């Protein structure tokens, strides 16, 4: 799991205080668990922010999630877990992410029994 960029950190941080973003509390709990296990990779915020600005100016994104695409480019991450259809389009756009291309797993994905246990128990690390 990777994190980076001031926009993403701010967006995730609101999950703790904004009732409309309470669903993000689960995500921030996962991130905390991964960090405690020493498995969270933190990318340089300034590098991710600069790349996000370049992506925004390029006009290639269907979504307004330039910071997510920027993080994927900087970190080399190619797996996204999201329900955002426009972000799905961006993440699989080879003009934005290629070699390898991005893979999207929607939140309503049917998971195997072992992966359901991992998701329920927030065990995304070993």
pLDDT by residue (tens digit) across 4-42? 999 988 887 765 455 555 555 667 777 788 888 888 899
Lowest mean pLDDT among 37-46, 55-64, 102-111: 102-111
119 CB-near residues (< 8 Å, 6+ apart): 111
Q: Tell me, what's the pLDDT at 125?
A: 43
CA proximity to 82, closest of 68, 70, 95, 96: 68
Reported pTM: 0.76
3-state secondary structure 47-66: HHHHHHHHHHHHCCCCCCCH
pLDDT tens across 66-98, in order?
Answer: 999 999 999 999 888 888 899 999 999 999 998
């Amino acid at each position: 799991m990777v994190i980076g960029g001031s926009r993403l950190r701010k967006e995730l941080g609101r999950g703790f205080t904004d009732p409309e973003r309470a669903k993000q509390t689960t995500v921030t709990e996962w991130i905390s668990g991964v960090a405690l296990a020493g498995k969270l990779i933190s990318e340089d915020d300034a590098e991710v922010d600069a790349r996000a600005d370049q992506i925004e100016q390029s006009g290639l994104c269907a979504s307004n999630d330039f910071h997510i695409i920027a993080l994927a480019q900087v970190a080399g991450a190619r797996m996204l877990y999201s329900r955002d259809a426009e972000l799905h389009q961006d993440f699989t756009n080879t003009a934005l992410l290629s070699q390898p291309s991005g893979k999207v797993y929607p939140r309503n994905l049917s998971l195997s029994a072992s992966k359901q246990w991992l998701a329920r128990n927030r065990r995304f690390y070993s």
